[in-house]
Homo-oligomer: A and B are copies of this chain.
Amino acid sequence: MAATPTSGNGARRTQAQRSAATREALLDATLACLVEDGYARTTTTRVAERAGLSRGAHLHHFRTRNALVAAAIGHLAERWTQELLAAAEDLPTGRERLAEGLDLVWRSYANPLFQAALDLWTQARTDAELREHLLAVERQLDRQTLELARRLFPDLAARPTFEPLVEMAISTIRGLALLDTLHPDGARNRKQWPSCRAMLVTLLQAEPAGDD
């Protein structure tokens, strides 16, 4: 048997593999901690505990708490967009496509990860270092979202009002998702979303581009 560790059964891992695994575990633990405990209680001790590692391991990979959080932001953004893009592939064609597309975005915000992001967001207001990281991520996410919208609805995208409409839809969804913060079950939102979605569909289809 070749002793190549890259394809090993797990018993024998190369240094790089070990390192990557612990990094991943730390980042996952950080996100879980942000979701469940909030930013304030996302301490180095707690994250290490949750990851099943020591604080030493933590400090080895991320020398400060801020470094950990910065990496976690990237991790979060990546996961989020991947989920969104993956779900977008299954979007049906036909007259329900627009409503389903809005549902898609809605679901991506009615999601624990958004709560974690929101927590980071508000903290960033009074933390310059955090703000730097989040601004970069925000720009990228906005760009990707708009691009996705254009790709999914090319006929609507031709209209000059498309971009403001998409931005408004996202703002509405964000505002609604904000309510979930205090209503963990989300009962309140699930009631408001259908009517909001209907209104957004009305706006987006206001002047159909002829193709129907």
Task: Name A residues whose Cβ lies closer than 8 Å to a Cβ of B.
Answer: 36-41, 115, 118-119, 121-127, 131, 134-135, 138, 161, 164-165, 167-168, 170-176, 178-179, 181-182, 184, 192, 195-196, 199, 202-203, 206
Label chain A's interface by main secondary structure.
Answer: helix
A175–B194 Cα gap in the complex (Å)? 17
A181's contact among B115, B125, B164, by CB below 8 Å, is which?
Answer: B125
How many identical subunits does the complex contain? 2
Residue numbers in B under 8 Å from A181 (CB-CB): 121-122, 124-125
A184–B124 Cα gap in the complex (Å)? 11
How distant is A61 from chain B, measured CB to nearest CB, in Å?
24
Residue numbers in B under 8 Å from A176 (CB-CB): 171, 175
A196–B199 Cα gap in the complex (Å)? 13
Inter-chain pairs besides A171-B176, A171-B192, 14 sampled, C-beta below 8 Å: A36-B126, A119-B122, A121-B182, A125-B182, A161-B195, A164-B196, A165-B199, A168-B199, A171-B175, A171-B196, A174-B174, A175-B175, A175-B176, A199-B203
